[in-house]
Amino acid sequence: MSTARRSLSAADSAAAPEPLRRLLAEHRPIVMGILNVTPDSFSDGGEFQDPERAIDHARRMAEAGADIIDIGAESTRPYPGMQPVSLEEEMARLAPVLPAVIKLGVPVSIDTIKAKVAAWALDQGAAILNDVWGLQRDPDMAALVAARGVPLVIMHNRDEADPGIDIIADIKAFFARSLDIAAQAGIAEGAIVLDPGIGFGKTPEQSMTAIARLDALKGYGLPILVGASRKRFINTVVASEPAERLPGSLAAHILAVENGASIIRAHDVAETVQALRVHAAIRGAR
């Protein structure tokens, strides 16, 4: 077993309190592994619809070094053709998978824009809420987060890309609205993570700008999450299908860390963990 992998022990069987704060206190890039239990995700749609395969994949990501596993049951694919999913369908996809993944002992993040789904997932033991519309879609989401006191990922999003805008200014304006909603609901600022939403409502050029100018978001004093894994902008640099974009994903994520990202959301956990650890080791040898 390589040094990038770890075995699950009895100590892992119960998630630590405030898992995100504990992880961030280690002052190293945190890796969030992606688990899509959907038929239409842009990269791996349908691959993990079978509950047993999904749970096995989560186990392998944990063994490969994932600090968090992010589970989503409604595609938020940044491409045309994304189909909204009913509350009932989203819950049906999660029910046979999420409780078993939580039992692996790695903190679980629920990727949903529905407060009722989020509440159910938190009841099962999910520890983090990842809202790709940053509290701006479901009016009940902010109150839920405040009441539960869980960490929240606020992601920037747009209904469609506009190549004529200053994307950094747009991201900041979006975050200002989300943070105002959070404050009014009583969500502790220290519980919030900001995600510039690479590939969501952005041209490929704007996605690259968001990574290149990530330091523009440092003024918030909040952790930053970047998920560039297999995103379409890589294809505009080197023609490639989603499954062929690992090298581009690693390049983007290393630059994101250099520019201030604390959390990296990735499909390819073992490779991402190894790349980030080697990057840190080389920097530490200066």
- Domain limits, the chain: 29-284
Structure tokens at 130: 């990842």
Residue pair 243/230 in contact (Cβ under 8 Å)? The answer is yes
Q: Is 103 a catalytic residue?
A: no
Predicted TM-score (pTM) of the model is 0.91
Three-point CA angle 68, 73, 76, nearest 5°: 90
CA proximity to 227, closest of 77, 16, 74: 77
CA distances from 128 to 22, 57, 118, 124 (A): 13, 20, 9, 12
Query: 93, 114, 230, 265: which is the annotated catalytic residue?
Result: 265
pLDDT for 232 equals 94
Query: 231, 232, 245, 283: which is the annotated catalytic residue?
Result: 231
Three-point CA angle 78, 237, 161, nearest 5°: 30
The pLDDT tens digits along the chain (286 residues) read: 343 444 444 333 334 348 899 999 999 999 999 999 987 554 545 566 789 999 999 999 999 999 999 999 987 655 455 667 899 999 999 999 999 999 999 999 999 999 999 999 999 999 999 999 999 999 999 999 999 999 999 999 999 999 999 999 999 999 999 999 999 999 998 999 999 999 999 999 999 999 999 999 999 999 999 999 999 999 999 999 999 999 999 999 999 999 999 999 999 999 999 999 999 999 999 8
Task: Give me the CATH code for the 29-284 domain, please.
Answer: 3.20.20.20
Q: Is 231 a catalytic residue?
A: yes
